[in-house]
Structure 1
Amino acid sequence: MSATPGPNLAAHGFRENEYAVSGVAARFETSGDRELTEVGKDTFTTRILVRRPIDDARFNGTVVVEWLNVSSGSDAAADYTYLAEELVRGGFAWVGVSAQYTGITGGPGSVGGLDTPSPTGPAAKDPERYTGLHHPGDAYCYDIFGTVGAALRTVGADHPLAGLTVRRSLAVGESQSAMALTTYANLFAGYHRVHDGILIHSRAAAGMSLGEVGRGIDIDQVFDAEPTTIRTDLDIPVFIVQTETDVLTNFRFHLSRQPDTDRIRVWEIAGTSHADLHQIGPYEDMLGCPTPVNRGQQRFVLRAALHHLDAWAAGRSQPPSAPPLELDLSGATPQFVVDDIGNARGGVRTPCVEAPSQVLSGVVGGEVSRICLLFGSTTPAAPEALAARYTDPSEYLRRYGEATDLAIAAGFVLADDREELLADARPDLIGPDR
């Protein structure tokens, strides 16, 4: 489910269980005014993975429902990897849903470069456990996600969340799942009325299509589709968190930028890429990228975004607004405006770009694989640029600490993450011999 180990669940009073979930889902067509028309139904048996507090006293009342990502050809819990620390310490329940066809049947994936063994479907790996799973195709994936979400809110004695008092549900998803949630927010959120908020992480300019019967969605079509914004008449909050890769490259999110409202918030994080070292963990070398992958700090910003979204959905407070990343639109291709080190200006600022020691980018130049494009890059800063900023490592650490406290005060990272964020500093890269 993840390349990076998460927190020890048992040590935090959590448990993990997997369940089969069966039901009937509908498929839809839509008119130009975003109205849905049901055009068919079919049965499904999918699976969910549940990580939850054992005791209701440890539960904060919110279930985070992740649309599992299938870009590798099998399910991956991309956002759990980023959010796990906040989920566990905050007392959330987390449920990963195999919403898409490829998560059940397996497939080649859409990113390449992961050396995924074949076959990838659960039933091929463990027939005794998974042969009963059945997915009728991604034409039904949105209603499957909504149907499972509704079932998670109806807690009885024989239920994955039995013993917990569920008060809120938040939908989350990254990359392909974020593109699915873009469509879900615009077409299905008001129809299902299941979730109290949506966190869309690393979407493209367009949303995912409504899919077809008996097959998975061709995600490549999203990158050629017309840009779309999130509708402004929703009565639940939608939080969009984007990296540099998402704003530019073929994701083209800069074409779908929209202003913040009392129900929409958009954060673009400087120095980040679509995927990064935190996600790939000890398997960085298997990607074969020409430069080290991005070592930005989006995980801290995402944890803050979830924290804010929960409060927002509960009616307690709204998240802070952030400026967009600065773009130079004077040439044929949009470019980021960068500082003296080479890091992007504007956006949500974390210590690694406010007190930089490296160049952190979400846009990789040259002929590289698609997977390396997604993982961005980390390259050395020019020694003279670092020397102009810092007299020695101690000054760097002082300024890095100040940047950490400013980010916490601004609400873009959480005070609970302060020690981990400080440990991310790189004073070893500062000095005349570096």
Structure 2
Amino acid sequence: MGTAIPVDLRAGGYVEDEYLAAGIASSYRTASALTGDGRWRFSPDATASYRTRIVVRRPAKASAFSGNVVVEWLNVSGGVDADPEWATLHEEIMRRGDVWVGVSAQRIGVMGGPVLVKVAGAGSDLAGQGLRAIDPARYGSLQHPGDGYAFDIYTQIARSLRTGAALGGLHPQRLIAAGESQSAFAMVTYYDGVQPLTDAFDGFFVHSRGATGLPLVGPGKSADLAGSLGGTPAIFRTDQGPPVIDVQTESDVTGILNSSRALQPDTDRFRLWEVTGTAHADAHLLGANASAIDCGAPVNNGTTHLVAKVALRALTTWLATGTAPVAAPRIGLISGATPQVRRDADGIALGGIRTPPVDVPVATLSGVPGPKSSTICLLLGSTTPFSTTRLAQLYPSHAAYQQRYDADADKTIKAGFVLSDDRAALLAYADPSAITG
């Protein structure tokens, strides 16, 4: 599994299992144009056999189970199955007793194929090989018929989980579809075109979507995500029941993903949270690999994962009680043919969900990438430390800075955008050593 964040499952009272999932899956065809309102009409098309794998991380004790199962569509943009939602959310998943299931839904993860985003670091030599080639003894029997079938593969696995299969005797109360980046594009397509046919999921956790959905493709093909970026933007349709919470980083809103083209208002079934001072991927998500990437500036070190964890809790509460998450302000935009983020004199974005590192700053946290151009750098934003002169203007002393930071942390928690459980993690982003007074 392509993850840069090691987690001690046993210490957290969790176990991990891996299973084969096999069956006959259907692809889909569209009955009409894919319109911007998301009210797409799909119908089953061809069928093909598949044999893929899932990874299950669950509480070792049944009594600890929350009833929530988070089903992550594993991300293949780096050429291997990666679990960015687990990396982002695992503290919240484990302390609440949720089950996490990672699904090898797409062809590249199983069979190999072109690498969309090349990331230097441990395991990068495996990119594009696929599970079958990485470990033939373990995965040589796997078979994936193409990404056009991925949506039904995902549905069939969800339906099996609903019965308790692969969960060690646990029985779910709520199934949550989850995906980040390329997998978030898949969530758009699934919600708008497939969920109306299957009713397979109770809620959707979407993280860093672009303006479009993941395209449908023919047998043996992998989805052309890069080619779809300039396609017709689409919102999450508003005529079905399962709620959606969509967490977007600052760089997602404009930049290469340009989710602002699919901006939609909150409803009683939809919440959009845009997080100021964050990037599509960041120092937390990269872990030890961050030091191996040279973008000409330090990569973004924002608080996406802290906001995402409260978003997951807000979604599970929404499902369990009907109480919707708090509404969040949008990041300010300068309108035009190519919208730009509104910024203050320090280069920090205006509006959006704000946390102490952007409201009591010692550096400019931004979705704007460093000066060295590469696909991965376009996604990593930047962190630019303030000059000593600017810091002296803002903070007369270490104590003054820390007092303001702590007060803003409590304000953020009270507003509902960071959990009180994560207060210590939020305070750890403070950097009083930068202050000379």
Give the 3-state SS of the residue equivalent to 2:266 in structure 1.
coil
Which of 355, 364, 368 is matched with 2:369 structurally? 364
What code does the residue aligned with 2:12 have?
A: H
Q: Is the 8 A contact 1:6 1:84 kept in 2?
A: no
Give the 3-state SS of the residue equivalent to 1:291 in structure 2.
coil
Aligned 1:302-341 pairs, distance under 5 A: 302-329=308-335, 333-341=338-346
Match of 2:84 in 1: 78
d(CA) in 2 for partners of 1:219 and 1:378? 28
d(CA) in 2 for partners of 1:52 and 1:113? 29
TM-score (norm 1): 0.95
1:117 matches 2:117: no
Aligned 1:180-219 pairs, distance under 5 A: 180-219=186-225
Q: Is the 8 A contact 2:295 2:369 kept in 1?
A: no
% of aligned pairs identical?
43
Q: Is the 8 A contact 2:2 2:81 kept in 1?
A: no
1:411 matches 2:389: no
d(CA) in 2 for partners of 1:193 and 1:22? 21
Offset of residue 383 of structure 1? 3.1
d(CA) in 1 for partners of 2:322 and 2:406? 29
Q: Is the 8 A contact 2:163 2:171 kept in 1?
A: no
Q: Is the 8 A contact 2:370 2:382 kept in 1?
A: no
d(CA) in 1 for partners of 2:423 and 2:257? 32
d(CA) in 2 for partners of 1:91 and 1:173? 20
RMSD of aligned alpha carbons:
1.5
Superposed CA deviations along residues 233-269 of structure 1, whole A, max 9, x for unmatched, are 1201011110111101121111111100000000000
Match of 2:169 in 1: 163
What code does the residue aligned with 2:384 have?
A: T
1:385 matches 2:393: no
Superposed CA deviations along residues 26-60 of structure 1, whole A, max 9, x for unmatched, are 11111235222211111111100000012121000
Q: Is the 8 A contact 1:87 1:94 kept in 2?
A: yes
Aligned 1:190-269 pairs, distance under 5 A: 190-269=196-275
d(CA) in 1 for partners of 2:384 and 2:253? 20
d(CA) in 2 for partners of 1:79 and 1:38? 29
Match of 2:35 in 1: none
1:151 matches 2:160: yes
1:353 matches 2:358: yes
What code does the residue aligned with 1:136 have?
A: P
Match of 2:147 in 1: 138
> 5+ residue gaps in structure 2?
33-38
Q: Is the 8 A contact 1:15 1:53 kept in 2?
A: yes
- Over 3 Å counting, the alpha-carbon distance change for 1:96 and 1:130 in structure 2 is same
> 5+ residue gaps in structure 1?
none
TM-score (norm 2): 0.95
Give the 3-state SS of the residue equivalent to 2:85 in structure 1.
helix
Q: Is the 8 A contact 1:248 1:363 kept in 2?
A: no
- Over 3 Å counting, the alpha-carbon distance change for 1:385 and 1:338 in structure 2 is farther
Superposed CA deviations along residues 61-99 of structure 1, whole A, max 9, x for unmatched, are 000000000001110001100001001001000000000
d(CA) in 1 for partners of 2:200 and 2:148? 19
d(CA) in 2 for partners of 1:410 and 1:244? 19
d(CA) in 1 for partners of 2:6 and 2:324? 28
Q: Which moved more, 1:133-142 or 1:279-288?
A: 279-288
Offset of residue 2 of structure 1? 4.3
d(CA) in 2 for partners of 1:340 and 1:391? 20
- Equivalent pairs counted in the alignment come to 428
Give the 3-state SS of the residue equivalent to 1:251 in structure 2.
coil
Superposed CA deviations along residues 138-160 of structure 1, whole A, max 9, x for unmatched, are 110111111111111112xxx32
Q: Which moved more, 1:73-82 or 1:105-114?
A: 105-114
d(CA) in 1 for partners of 2:287 and 2:371? 24
Q: Is the 8 A contact 1:327 1:336 kept in 2?
A: yes
d(CA) in 1 for partners of 2:178 and 2:399? 40
Q: Is the 8 A contact 2:256 2:378 kept in 1?
A: no
What code does the residue aligned with 2:334 have?
A: D
Superposed CA deviations along residues 202-254 of structure 1, whole A, max 9, x for unmatched, are 01111111122102111111211111111001201011110111101121111
